Amino acid sequence: MSKALAGYRILDFTHVQSGPTCTQLLAWFGADVIKVERAGEGDATRGQLRDIAGADSLYFTMLNHNKRSVTIDTKKPQGKAVLERLIAGCDVLVENFAPGALDRMGFGWERIHALNPRMVVASVKGFGPGKYELCKVYENVAQCAGGSASTTGFDDGPPMVTGAQIGDSGTGLHLALGILAALLQRHQSGRGQKVLAPMQDAVLNLCRVKLRDQQRLERTGTMHEYPQYPDGEFGEAVPRAGNASGGGQPGAILRCKGWETDPNAYIYFITQAAVWPAVCKVIGEPNWIDDEAYATPAARLLHLKPIFARIERWTMTRTKFEAMDILNQLDIPCGPILSMKELAEEPSLRASGTVVEVDHPVRGKYLTVGNPIKLSDSPTEVTRSPLLGEHTDEVLSQFGFSPAQIDALRAERVI
Ligand code: COA
């Protein structure tokens, strides 16, 4: 079956996580992604957090599936000449170098646009225009600068970063969407354009409910669904809300049977208004259905701590999976806290292609997260990441270089 992005060529100048996430998605949708790496070194993540000596790390392999790798020293004049030809023959250039690196290489927007007016040039940077625009940025910096860390964690503790890589992978997702929009616009305009996804902006976009709350707080001085209400105090900025639900339905993480030894024996429990009577019955408090202290959502907001303490006395009598079975039958929204071990072994994720086993010639078999976006007419087959420079000869000959020219470039250590 053909692929959604078949026929599109992506010149992939990305490294580490944010950019590679984006180009991996494009590759999964069928684009030909040509990853340009420095000869001899390659993407720094090939060697980071290695678990097998001499093999590309999981960090690298899990972000670079379905791509081809060419090595070119783009700082040498002959390397620049090779790059020019690749630019002329590709649809998109994606990069996430530190600010200014592409210009220093001699391939700023004006130059690329002159070489190929149809080319879309897509960049991840830490910050957009402003006082931090020249800074180098990694994941946790973006989480801190984008509003995630100040709103994550508990009120009596420091700001926290999350395990979800919203700064890197989150920005990569944003960038992929921008690239597709620019390619669609190119159908009408015939022109490429610049696409910029700053990590701070992407994280803030994912934290928009907290900017919503900032304005609610400024207007009313309080937020009734936050754990600070009714006993604590609110300051000027949105506080950390622990595990409270961000919406109108109060929620909490509660201990389940086995919590004393299993750090993930917990369940997320939502006291959705529509199923409040069912909640009362299942925990053994049927009187709460009509008790005026608990009967309405507004009344319950004054008593969330004792309510969840009582519910927890019930969840602690069941495993998280037993509790799930009972609560789901009653339509009570809840979710088990699943460990990475449980997710890796979950059969339904294997069946859907979200967790995939891949074979690699050096490291052998490993698990990865496959394409989380499913297109009915463009299924994703995850293929292994390329070895460093594995496709240099193949790609260069596709772009018109003769075997003698390729040998000469190799002799000059350009590729
Ligand atoms: N041939 C020759 N030189 C190459 C090359 C190639 N094929 N590919 C890259 N380089 C050079 C670049 O031109 C740059 O040279 P310069 O600094 O002399 O101009 C150099 O390699 C290193 O690039 P840089 O991006 O600065 O790498 P870094 O390791 O110092 O910084 C980051 C890493 C991630 C901090 C930085 O790239 C960054 O801030 N990126 C934007 C934000 C981002 O994506 N962060 C998240 C990463 S997951």
Would you say residue 61 has pLDDT above 90? yes
Q: Which atom of ligand 1 is found nearest the CA of 104?
A: 19
Active site residue 359: no
Where does the pLDDT of residue 48 fall: very low under 50, low under 70, confident under 90, or very high at 90 and above?
very high
Q: Which atom of ligand 1 is found nearest the CA of 74?
A: 1
Question: What residue has token string 């088990």?
Answer: 336
Would you say residue 124 has pLDDT above 70? yes
165 CB near ligand 1 (under 6 Å): no
* Nearest partner of 19 among 216, 206, 197, 223, judged by Cα: 197
Strands 266-270 and 364-369: unpaired
143 CB near ligand 1 (under 6 Å): no
Distance 367 CA to ligand 1 centre (A): 28
pLDDT above 70: percentage of residues in the chain:
99
The three-point CA angle 134-136-139 to 5° equals: 135
Would you say residue 39 has pLDDT above 90? no
Q: What is the 3-state secondary structure (H, E, C) of the chain?
A: CCCCCCCCEEEEECCCCHHHHHHHHHHHCCCEEEEEECCCCCCHHHHCCCCCCCCCCHHHHCCCCCEEEEECCCCCHHHHHHHHHHHHHCCEEEECCCCCHHHHHCCCHHHHHHHCCCCEEEEEECCCCCCCCCCCCCHHHHHHHCCCHHHCCCCCCCCCCCCCCCCCHHHHHHHHHHHHHHHHHHHHHCCCCEEEEEHHHHHHHHCHHHHHHHHHHHHHCCCCCCCCCCCCCCCCCCCCCCCCCCCCCCEEEEECCCCCCCCCCEEEEECCHHHHHHHHHHHCCHHHHCCCCCCCHHHHHCCHHHHHHHHHHHHCCCCHHHHHHHHHHCCCCEEECCCHHHHHHCHHHHHHCCEEEEEECCCEEEEEECCCCCCCCCCCCCCCCCCCCCCHHHHHHHCCCCHHHHHHHHHCCCC
* Nearest partner of 68 among 402, 406, 400, 398, judged by Cα: 398
Q: What is the pLDDT of residues 213-271, one digit of tens each?
A: 999 999 999 998 899 998 999 999 999 999 997 677 899 999 999 999 999 999 999 99
75 CB near ligand 1 (under 6 Å): yes
104 CB near ligand 1 (under 6 Å): yes
pLDDT value at position 246? 67
Distance 98 CA to ligand 1 centre (A): 5
Q: Which of 12, 168, 201, 213 is catalytic?
A: 168
Rounded to whole angstroms, how far apart are CA atoms 282 and 284? 5
Strands 266-270 and 334-336: antiparallel
88: left (phi over 0), alpha (psi -120 to 50) or beta: alpha
pLDDT value at position 248? 74
87 CB near ligand 1 (under 6 Å): no
Ligand 1 mutation pick, 41, 97, 104, max ligand atoms within 8 A of CB: 97
Rounded to whole angstroms, how far apart are CA atoms 27 and 9? 9
Distance 181 CA to ligand 1 centre (A): 26
Note whether 5 and 26 are within 8 A (CB).
yes
Ligand 1 mutation pick, 64, 71, 72, 136, max ligand atoms within 8 A of CB: 136
Q: What is the pLDDT of residues 152-203, one digit of tens each?
A: 999 999 999 999 999 999 999 999 999 999 999 999 999 999 999 999 999 9
132 CB near ligand 1 (under 6 Å): no
174 CB near ligand 1 (under 6 Å): no
For residue 79, give both structure tokens. 């390397």
pLDDT value at position 120? 98
Q: Whose CA is nearest to atom 11 of ligand 1?
A: 101
Question: What residue has token string 């079956």?
Answer: 1
Rounded to whole angstroms, how far apart are CA atoms 373 and 380? 9
Distance 244 CA to ligand 1 centre (A): 39
Strands 92-95 and 120-125: parallel
125 CB near ligand 1 (under 6 Å): yes
Task: Report CA 253 to chain centroid distance, whole Å.
Answer: 23
HSE-CB for 401 with a 13 A CA cutoff: 25
Rounded to whole angstroms, how far apart are CA atoms 361 and 389? 15
Note whether 64 and 20 are within 8 A (CB).
yes
Q: What is the pLDDT of residues 327-377, one digit of tens each?
A: 999 999 999 999 999 999 999 999 999 999 999 999 999 999 999 999 999
